[in-house]
Amino acid sequence: MKCAEMIESETPKVSAVAQANNEVRLPMGILGFEQIKDYVLLVNPEEEPFAWLQVKANASLAFVVVDPFLVMPNYQPDIPEADVEFLGLRNTSDALLLNIVTIHGPHRATINLKGPIVINRHTHIGKQIIIANAVDYSVQHPLPVAGSIE
């Protein structure tokens, strides 16, 4: 499926109705939001590599996420065995990683590299995990935003 089919071009992107196959279930929620388990992954091609992980029950709440390997080619998250088992991952290619981005302003954004959301591409079940090598990474690693003075 093409992304363009998921999102009507003239309507606000995040309020677009997503296809069922872009739904993601996080049985343990996101740390701090344990009670919110159902999300929809929305992508607007103009905003890539960012995407929206929107709360399914509340279209006005969303996390901005990004595939970390697109912005941090050297990222090497070590996923604990218990999480691999929980998610039913057999190969690294089964895993989709989305890391939460904090938008601090038009010229500053950071990515959480300690706690990626790992999703099984086949089951669409995911979990925000704490990587075993969290000590090597920051929860607010600056992204190279255009126009940034950093």
Partner 1 sequence: MLILSRKSGESIVIDGRIHVKIVRVEGDVVKVGIGAPVDVPVHRQEVYDEIQRSNRQALTRPRKLSGLPKLAGGTTKAHPLAGRATNTAKKVVLPGK
Contacts with partner 1 in 21-50 (CB under 8 A)?
Answer: 21-22, 24, 28, 30-33, 41, 43, 45, 47-50
Residues 76-115 that bind partner 1 (CB under 8 A): 76-82, 84-86, 89, 91-93, 95-98, 100-103, 106-109, 112, 114-115
Please answer whether residues 120 and 88 qualify as being in contact, where contact means their C-beta atoms are separated by less than 8 angstroms: yes
* Residue 26 one-letter amino acid: L
Q: What is the DSSP letter of 18?
A: P
Minimum CB distance to partner 1, residue 124 (Å)? 7
Minimum CB distance to partner 1, residue 9 (Å)? 15
Two tokens, residue 69:
């390997």
At which residue do the structure tokens 């009670």 appear? Answer: 35
Largest CA distance in the chain: 44
Count other C-beta atoms under 10 Å from residue 31's C-beta. 12
Minimum CB distance to partner 1, residue 71 (Å)? 6
Minimum CB distance to partner 1, residue 75 (Å)? 6
Two tokens, residue 24:
């993601």
Residues 117-146 that bind partner 1 (CB under 8 A): 118-119, 121, 124, 128, 130, 133-134, 139-140, 143-146
CA–CA gap between residue 15 and residue 104 (Å, rounded): 22
**Smaller CB separation from partner 1, 37 or 86:** 86
